[in-house]
Structure 1
Amino acid sequence: MIKSWMVIGAVALLVVLAGGLISRDGARWFNRLQRPRWLTFEAAIPFIWTVIYICAAWSAYIVWENAPGNSKTWWLMGLYVLLELVTTAYTPVMFRLRSLKVGTVIGGTGALIGIILAVLVWPISIWASLLLLPYVIWSPIGTYTTWDMIRLNPGDA
């Protein structure tokens, strides 16, 4: 029998891997952009997002195990997948369109979905909601960073 954590983990991994399909031209475009001086932790960002994805998947697992298969749980699982899709879309879409504004909108959308999801999950499991806290904290930081880069790179807004 396939366990729920296996399905949740597989879906999360597939979405993240699909989001990793970025063009070299887009990566070169992004790498040449100026960064804010306060952005001293850029090398840690992949590690930070890995932890955030793991926490979100764990949160989804807790929600599923508390109320497996009912319609509200299915809607919440859909919201988890939407959150991951939006978050994962940030890099390939922004790179393809070469637009920091698009990245800011995608980041802001993800932050909003993350907050809504954390609030909706709270009555089901406080732990599941708390596991979304890294996303709720970090996503606005990433969104602000992208927004601040517009000021430094107005031609790439």
Structure 2
Amino acid sequence: MLKSWMVIAGVGLAIALLSNIIRPKDAKWFRRLERPQWLTFEKLIPVIWTTVFVCGGWSAYIVWEQTQSWRWMVAYIVLEVVTVSFTPVLLWSHSLLAASWIGGTGFVVGLVLAIAVLQVSVWAAALLIPYLLWSPIGTFTTWEMKKLNS
């Protein structure tokens, strides 16, 4: 029998993998973009996002174990879908502005979810803090890249 954490991790992984359909021409376009001089941590971004997603999944697990509510799980899925849509929107549209809007939207959705989850579990809300800290940094970085790449 599947444990709830396995299902949550599997759904999260499936959503993330589906959003990573990258065409070679788009990857080439992205590599050629100018970056801000202060962007010295780019190689850490995959590790940072992995941490953020693991914390989000753990938060969802805590909420599921306490509520058994599909509505909460839909809210977590909405957050993940908005978050991972950043990559295909950026790469398929070649629009740093559109990606910045997706990033900002993700932050708002994450903040609303964290505040709502606080009534269920302080720990579940706390596990969303890495997302709430990192999402604005990623959004700001994209916004700054937009200025450099008109």
Pairwise TM-score range, normalised by the shorter structure: over 0.9
State the one-letter code of the partner of 2:33: L
State the one-letter code of the partner of 2:67: A
- Per the alignment, residue 30 of structure 1 pairs with 30
Q: Percent identity?
A: 51
Listed as ranges, the gaps of 5+ residues in structure 2 are none
- Per the alignment, residue 145 of structure 2 pairs with 149
Q: TM-score, normalised by structure 1?
A: 0.93
- Per the alignment, residue 64 of structure 2 pairs with 64
Q: Does structure 2 retain, via aligned residues, the 8 Å contact 1:94–1:103?
A: yes
- Per the alignment, residue 86 of structure 2 pairs with 90
State the one-letter code of the partner of 1:66: Q
Match of 2:77 among 66, 78, 81: 81
Q: TM-score, normalised by structure 2?
A: 0.97
Listed as ranges, the gaps of 5+ residues in structure 1 are none
Alignment of 1:1-157 (within 5 A): 1-68=1-68, 73-154=69-150
- 1:34 deviates by 0.5
Q: Does structure 2 retain, via aligned residues, the 8 Å contact 1:23–1:92?
A: no
4+ long deviations beyond 4 Å = none
Give the distance between the partners of 2:25 and 2:75, measured in 1 at CA.
32
What is the Cα-based RMSD across aligned positions, in Å? 0.8
- Across the two proteins, how many residue pairs are aligned to each other? 150
Q: Does structure 2 retain, via aligned residues, the 8 Å contact 1:87–1:107?
A: yes
